[in-house]
Amino acid sequence: MNILIIGSGGRESAFAYKIAQSKKLDKLFIAPGNAGTLAYGENVPLKVTDFEGQAQFALDNKIDLILVGPEEPLVKGIHDYFLSREDIKHIPVIGPQQEGAQLEGSKDFSKQFMQRHQIPTAASRSFDRSNLEEGLAYLETQNLPIVLKADGLAAGKGVLICESLQEAKDELKAMIADAKFGAASDVVVVEEFLKGIELSVFVLTDGTSYKVLPSAKDYKRIGEGDTGLNTGGMGSISPVPFADEIFLSKVEERIIKPTVDGLKKDNIPYKGFIFIGLMNVGGEPFVIEYNVRMGDPETESVLPRIESDLVDLLEGVAQGNLDTRSYTVSSKTAVTVMLVSGGYPGDYESGKVISNIENVKESIVFHAGTKEQNGEVLSAGGRVIAVTTLQDTLFDALQQATADAGRIYFDGKYFRRDIGFDLI
Ligand code: AMP
Ligand code: GLY
């Protein structure tokens, strides 16, 4: 098969790494890819939302399957675009159509979906310009802290946890009346604060059957000890030690099955990944959010643990017979440490020469924000490289990943040395 991956981050590097191992693969392309994906396939200079360009490339290169990494093209309708054209609709796209992508693209849509299908989640109400006064009055009846969420995509910044009533009222007004997050906060979901420990569970579905992929936990804050600003993710581990068999069976019965069945009942076609952000509240799982793609850097910890052929699984999704595909997971622990540019998630410099990658022997080096120029690898983003180690124990994996993260060099490099140490 010829496969085209859409995206350019650490997640897409991990997909490329895994897909390149498949016996079913003929040629792999990554659009646009990065310096690291060159090791697994050919980079194609196309933007992730250039659907016409992707379509032409797919026709010219006899692409048999398209795997979409990030949410933006999904929410903007890449899958619908391919289905809408006679000449390309035979090419399967892994990732939901626009309607299903609303699970991530609209918090209000996803809350209504969960309520309709009795999927455990925080109690909530949605407000907009027409009932802002009601929203302000509603805040007075709620416990603190309280969570305000912009309905639409806001680059991971649209969630506010307010500690005081005044702050909550000010923010609700700023979001709805003053468009704090642009059109994304025309509608705001006001949600009960859940106290617990977060983890993510990933599901691959063909719309009827599903495979539960390894669980993972990511570390979102920039600083050690989970301090400082939120980032796209500074590291991840898989599996999650506190997500034992009992907890995961609750997740499957109460959340995964009703989610896949709910999509079917609502006539929402869905072929792709579902990323379920969960809060473990005293042993009971609640959904914090859905994403319609894999997580980054969770993918870098999850995929190396999957022993099965990912292309075979993706083919099962495309053909609607995922239940017939073999699926096994390694019992080893994966730890991913992200190397970022100094200053990230604020301003940072790019174009720094990255060296010593070849000295990492015991970990997988996934490129995230990198580019190749005149034979050198340069940084080209906030999150630059993800180092993943697979070991028999969490402790060994943590030590190895941290040591290997230290071996790679670029000017201004920063990484957290405490990824996963809270769980030992
Ligand atoms: P989201 O974009 O929905 O993932 O929210 C971003 C982050 O806000 C989550 O990863 C949680 O850490 C936090 N968060 C969101 N909703 C809640 C909630 N209901 N209770 C507590 N924390 C939350
Ligand atoms: N690591 C969180 C995300 O991919 O959304």
Residue type at 33?
G
d(CA 412, CA 352): 8
- Do 88 and 133 lie in one domain? The reply is no
Q: C-alpha angle with apex 286: 280 to 291, nearest 5 degrees? A: 105
Cα(232) to ligand 2 centroid in Å equals: 6
Give the pLDDT confidence score for residue 157 in this predicted structure: 84
Separation of 231 CA from ligand 2 center, angstroms?
A: 9
d(CA 54, CA 31): 8
Number of domains in the chain: 2
Domain hosting residue 43, numbered range = 1-96
CATH for 145? 3.30.1490.20
Same domain, 32 and 90: yes
Q: Kindly state whether residues 76 and 146 are assigned to the same domain.
A: no
Q: How far apart are the first and last CA of the chain?
A: 42
Distance CA 209, CA 223 (A): 40
Q: Ligand 1 centre and the CA of 281: distance in Å?
A: 13
Q: Report if residue 305 sits inside a domain.
A: no
Are 1 and 70 contained in the same domain? yes
Please write the tens of the pLDDT for every residue from 27-61. 999 999 999 999 999 999 999 999 999 999 999 99
Task: Check whether residue 10 and residue 83 sit in a common domain.
Answer: yes
Alpha helices by DSSP H, listed for 49-97, are: 51-60, 71-75, 78-84
* 348-394 pLDDT tens trace: 999 999 999 999 999 999 999 999 999 999 999 999 999 999 999 99
Ligand 1 atom at shortest distance from the alpha carbon of 277: 4
Q: Which residue in the block uniquely carries the two structure tokens 């042993």?
A: 283
30: domain CATH number? Answer: 3.40.50.20
For residue 158, the CA-to-ligand 2 centroid distance in Å is: 14
Q: Which of 137, 160, 190 is the last residue of a domain?
A: 190
Q: Whose CA is nearest to atom 4 of ligand 1?
A: 289
Q: Which helix (H) or strand (E) is 229 found in, with range?
A: strand 227-230
- Quote the tokens at residue 320: 């609607």
Does one domain contain both 2 and 83? yes
Number of CB atoms found within 10 A of residue 241's CB: 14
309 occurs within a structural domain: no
The pTM for the full model equals 0.97
pLDDT at 218: 96
Kindly give the distance from the C-alpha atom of residue 337 to the centroid of ligand 2, in angstroms, as a whole number: 14
Whether 167 maps to a domain, the answer reads: yes
Atom of ligand 1 nearest to the CA of 286: 19
Q: Which residues pair with 358 in a beta bridge?
A: none
Q: Is 90 exposed, middle or buried (0-12, 13-18, 19+ CB in 10 A)?
A: exposed
Domain stops at, among 35, 62, 96: 96
Write the residue with the smallest CA distance to atom 9 of ligand 1: 288
Q: Is residue 13 part of a domain?
A: yes
pLDDT block averages, 10 residues each, the chain of length 424: 98 98 98 98 98 98 98 97 98 98 97 98 97 98 97 90 97 97 96 97 98 97 96 97 96 98 98 98 97 98 98 98 98 98 97 98 98 96 98 97 98 97 91
Residue 157 maps to a domain: yes
Same domain, 5 and 60: yes
Residues 6+ away with beta carbon under 8 Å from 187 = 106, 108, 126, 127, 128, 150, 151, 152, 176
d(CA 242, CA 423): 8
Instruction: Give Dmax (Cα) for the chain.
Output: 61
Cα–Cα distance list, 309 to 43, 241, 327, 333, 334 (Å): 22, 25, 8, 19, 18
Q: What are phi and psi of 337, to 5 degrees?
A: -115, 130
pLDDT of residue 155: 81
Ligand 1 atom, smallest distance to 191 CA: 19
Q: For residue 131, is it within any domain?
A: yes
pLDDT at residue 274, rounded to an integer: 98
CA atoms within 13 A on the CB side of 287: 29
Tell me the C-alpha distance between 418 and 122, whole Å.
30
Distance (Å, rounded) from C-alpha 262 to C-alpha 359?
A: 48
Q: Is residue 310 part of a domain?
A: no
Give the position, in ligand 2's atom list, of the atom nearest the Cα of 236. 1
SS3 content of the chain, % helix, strand, coil (to 5): 35, 30, 40
The residue whose CA is least distant from atom 3 of ligand 2 is 295
- Same-domain status, 4 and 91: yes
Measured from CB, residues less than 6 Å from any atom of ligand 1 are 122, 147, 149, 159, 191-194, 198, 277, 288-289
Q: Residues 394, 277, 250, CA angle at the centre, nearest 5°?
A: 80
Is 283 among the domain residues? no
pLDDT score, position 228:
96
Listed residue (231, 228, 242, 394) closest to 305, CA to CA? 394
CA-proximal residue: ligand 2, atom 5 (nearest)? 295
Residues facing 337 on adjacent strands? 235, 387
| Atom 16 of ligand 1: nearest residue by CA position | 288
Q: Are residues 162 and 76 in the same domain?
A: no
pLDDT tens digit sequence for 229-240 = 999 999 999 999
CA of 217 to the centre of ligand 1 (A): 14
Q: Which of 11, 291, 340, 419 to mutate to test the pocket of ligand 2 (most atoms within 8 A of CB)?
A: 291
Query: Of 218, 237, 276, 301, which is best to mutate to test ligand 2, by the most ligand atoms within 8 angstroms of its C-beta?
Result: 218
Domain end call among 156, 190, 224: 190
Return the structure tokens found at 126.
């949605």
C-alpha neighbours within 13 Å on the C-beta side of residue 1:
22
Tell me, yes or no, whether 62 and 6 share the same domain: yes
- Ligand 1 test: best mutation among 161, 171, 226, 275, most atoms within 8 Å of CB? 161
Ligand 2 atom with the shortest distance to the CA of 294: 4
CB neighbour list of residue 373: distance below 8 Å, 6 or more residues apart = none
